[in-house]
Chains A and B, each alone.
Chain A
Amino acid sequence: MSVAARKTVGAGLTALTGAAAVLVVGMLALILFDVIRGGAGRISWRFLTAAPEGGMMAGGIFPAIYGTAVMTLLMTVAVMPVGVMTAIYLHEYAPPDSRLAALVRVAVTNLAGVPSIVFGLFGLGFFIQFVGRGLDRAFSEPGVLRYGQPALVWAALTLAILTLPVVIVSTEEALRAVPRDHRDASLALGGTKSQTLWRVVLPGALPGILTGAILAVARGAGEVAPILFTGVAYFLPDLPSSVFSQFMHLGYHTYVLATQSPDVEAARPLLYGTVLVLLALTFALNLVAIAIRTRTRTRAAAAH
């Protein structure tokens, strides 16, 4: 090929790949634009703080916001200690050629790839049918189902397992960013391994661990498939009274309004409002996580 031809092909290919990148960013912008345009007029104090009325066609979405928040909080409390400790094991305790650590890594990678609906089935089969029914057999009067039915706590635990890989991966990255010298310095001063971990490594890794928590919350708040059979309800007159109650959820609310509403046009404003709240929530969390991560990475790169 002549030099001119090679240059033309090069310009063409660069433009083509650039067009693909523009297309992806364009779709993202389009989704945001459509949701904001459709939902912005709907958002009001009343919409955020009132319960639904008139067969879901009026009122607000407060119970769904509340349910999403409480479930996500429970999930975070469950997943963070396990995820952080697993990452600590993988990065701080396991010997470099440990078979067990390799197996844990394989399991975590595969866990991240399990379809979300399978988590839903697992939550139903394990937490409700096995653990919940087991608790009922042990503690409830015969014939009464207190624990063995869909509930806030089962949904939260199901999502905790789903978000476990997110926390492990972020925490491990954070641990990797803590310079080896800091550990050595602490050990040389006579600190034990756990003291070093607790006073030197974990404080240094805190921003990264926080990133993991935020990403897990963003992921958990938006997932609908795993909670379909494990605790969510379309409409409840009261807020959940205990962790063994069912709850309303922004994502499930979106799904039902979009697909099972008798009058789609009438439900449209409410639907757009709900989607905007859900999207704003997950998006804000993701943005914060990315901001923290970018800062940590730059700092880690500077330290090395």
Chain B
Amino acid sequence: MGRSAPVQVLADAPEGAASPLTSMRRRQVREAGIELVITLVALTGIAAVVLIFVFVAREALPLFSDPEVAKEVDLGRMFLPQVYRQGRPPGFIWQPVGNIPKYSMIPLFIGTLKVTFVSMIAATPIGIAAAVFTSEFAPRKLKEILKPTIELLAGIPSVVLGFFALMVMATWLQSAFGFSFRLNAVVAGLGLALTIVPVVYTVAEDALAAVPRSLREASLALGATRWETAFKIVLPAAAPGVLAAVVLGFGRAIGETMIVLMASGNAAITSWSLGDSVRTLPATIAAEMGEVVFGGAHYAVLFFLGIELFVFTFVLNTLAAVFVRRFVRRVSGARA
């Protein structure tokens, strides 16, 4: 009887029973409301990526829809060789300000590739080697100091690294290699490497550290030395993760603006020499957006460059994510 008393109360006294029920319902409604708000706010990330693409593309749209803009520039004039003066061989020129604006993107692509190439050649081996050292060879105490210290390099604003490349590295490199231009692809690329190394290092070190300890123990138990274990067992096992690190670094290198803007010399020349001044896609946007007529051809072309950058980095990031997923599956498979 004592047990069924609350039920009795529920049945007998409707007004007394209503309050726990409705308060329970009110609680549920409030909980559902909170969950809904949080879920909606969580969509901001998705919305941001979509809006970035849509609104950068929107400003580039006049290239394809506005006849006034089409008179000055179209896809052919952006990518194919053009004859600018009678009797000269066709060429690629980026010279958006002048009597005949020239919008060939080839010099900018070549410049971006040159700078990215130099930075990757420098940053990939250094970043991976430092990661291998941290993960496989360094004593524990050293490891605990080394990782945050190298990650601090990533915390230096790129404008400060650009300043360092411009004021200090350019002078050293010129006296070391005798460049005819003080600011060139090598200076910009090595300056850029300063931001790429921490990216490659962090992701690669995480991948190496995630390789199951059992693999190392098996290798050592079979008589392999520590370096053999590191280079023949751990590094191959972590390969997709390390590859993801390189791809992420590459994406970062293509899009980095301030270092290149300050240290590359900003001359849009079609040349493969690393000693020439170069101009990259992001630096072009940063340097020229301040002087364009809003809504004009030049303005639309700069936004078009932005869309290209967005697409390149999107593809590279997706690729890196695929590698990471493959790596995670491999590591968890080894554990099972």
Using a CB–CB cutoff of 8 Å, the interface residues on chain A facing chain B are 6-7, 9-10, 13-14, 16-21, 23-25, 27-28, 31, 34-35, 81-82, 85-86, 88-90, 93-94, 100-101, 103-104, 106-111, 113-122, 124-126, 129-130, 161, 164-165, 168, 192-194, 218-219, 221-225, 228-229, 251-252, 254-255, 258-259, 271, 275, 278-279, 282-283, 285-287, 290, 294
Contacts and interface: CB of A to CB of B under 8 A. Distances in A.
B126 interface: yes
A275 B258 CA distance: 14
Nearest to A253: B159
Interface in B31-88: 31, 34-35, 37-39, 41-46, 48-49, 51-52, 55-56, 58-59
Interface in B156-179: 156-164, 166-168
B163 A225 contact: no
Contact of A9 (B58, B162, B227): B227
Given A25-B146, A275-B160, A258 B59 contact: no
A225 B150 contact: no
B309 A117 contact: yes
Interface string B133-153: 110111000000010111111
Given A24-B130, A259-B262, A126 B51 contact: yes
A119 B38 contact: no
Contacts of A254: 159-160, 163
Contact of A114 (B27, B35, B52, B226): B52
Given A21-B133, A125-B303, A258-B163, 9 more contacts: A100-B39, A113-B313, A119-B52, A121-B56, A194-B31, A225-B286, A255-B159, A258-B262, A290-B152
Contact of B310 (A19, A23, A114, A282): A114
B201 A18 contact: no
Contact of B48 (A14, A111, A285): A111
Interface string B192-216: 0010011001000000000000000
A42 to B, nearest CB: 14
Contacts of B136: 17
A168 B45 CA distance: 10
B331 interface: no
B45 A107 contact: yes
A161 B316 CA distance: 20
Contact of A89 (B42, B159, B226): B42
The interface residues of chain A, by DSSP majority, are classed as: helix
A255 B160 CA distance: 9
Contact of A286 (B37, B146, B155, B316): B155
Interface of B: 27, 30-31, 34-35, 37-39, 41-46, 48-49, 51-52, 55-56, 58-59, 125-127, 129-130, 132-134, 136-138, 146, 148-153, 155-164, 166-168, 194, 197-198, 201, 225-228, 230-231, 248, 251-252, 254-258, 261-262, 282, 285-286, 289-290, 302-303, 306, 309-310, 313-314, 316-318, 321
Contacts of A258: 162-163, 166-167, 262
B5 to A, nearest CB: 21
A116 B201 CA distance: 21
A118 B262 contact: no
B133 A130 contact: no
Contact of A225 (B58, B129, B258): B258
Contacts of A21: 129-130, 133-134, 138, 146, 150
The interface residues of chain B, by DSSP majority, are classed as: helix
A110 B51 CA distance: 13
Contacts of A115: 254-257, 282, 309-310, 313
Q: Name the 9 nearest CB pairs between A and B, nearest first.
A: A115-B255, A222-B157, A20-B129, A89-B42, A17-B133, A286-B155, A10-B227, A113-B317, A225-B257
A23 B257 contact: no
20 contacts: A13-B231, A21-B134, A24-B130, A24-B150, A31-B160, A86-B42, A94-B42, A107-B49, A114-B255, A115-B282, A117-B285, A118-B255, A121-B303, A121-B306, A126-B52, A218-B155, A223-B157, A255-B163, A259-B261, A283-B156
